[in-house]
Amino acid sequence: MAEPSRQPVGMHEHALDNLRFIRETMERAGSFTAVPGWGGILMGMSALAGGWLAGRQATVEGWLAVWFGEGMLALAIGVVAMVLKAQRTDQNLFSAPGRKFVLSFAPPLAAGAVVTAMLYRTHHAGPIPAVWLLAYGAGVMTGGAFSARVIPAMGACFMLVGGLAAVAPAAWGNAFLMAGFGGLHILFGGIIARRYGG
């Protein structure tokens, strides 16, 4: 009884399999470089304006509302700038490094939001600036593990400013937010724009 003959696998199929494997391996090991420098500068400028306006509010609710609105504006600026940079550099935002960046960045922000709600509910708004700066810094550091080295450094600076805000008088909280979300975004946005293609 004769064995059924096996069809030989073509060389082009081996080559395609190898290319697919190489591409997937590089994607898993690659870094997320679509962090926008110019977007960071715009986010910083909007934070300075938002902080100025928030500092003129008579109530904690008004102050929180201004900073919440500023956070939403900064998020929109960041997302649009990231999409534009990814398109310009032909990078897929939903690649493995991009997903790792988002999945590492989001949990500290979610924790910061929960702690903010707890502090507000118990009428302890003083620590909120420190919580925001620390949570954002932690998110940037963990997300930045899949990006250029300057990103975790930026996260560490946010955490440093947040640590200072935690021990400083509560009345200085708005100034620390402006220094962090305004000044650090502008500083590091300039570095990213200059060294990492916008």
C-alpha radius of gyration, the chain, whole number = 22
pLDDT tens track for 89-102: 777 767 766 777 77
pLDDT tens track for 73-84: 999 998 898 888
What does the alpha-carbon distance between residue 46 and residue 17 come to, in Å, rounded to a whole number?
A: 48
pLDDT tens track for 128-155: 999 999 999 999 998 888 777 888 999 9
Name the β-bridge partners of 32: 147
What does the alpha-carbon distance between residue 53 and residue 198 come to, in Å, rounded to a whole number?
A: 29
168: pLDDT strictly greater than 80 = yes
Confidence class of residue 34 from pLDDT cuts 50, 70 and 90? low
pTM comes to: 0.80
26: pLDDT strictly greater than 50 = no
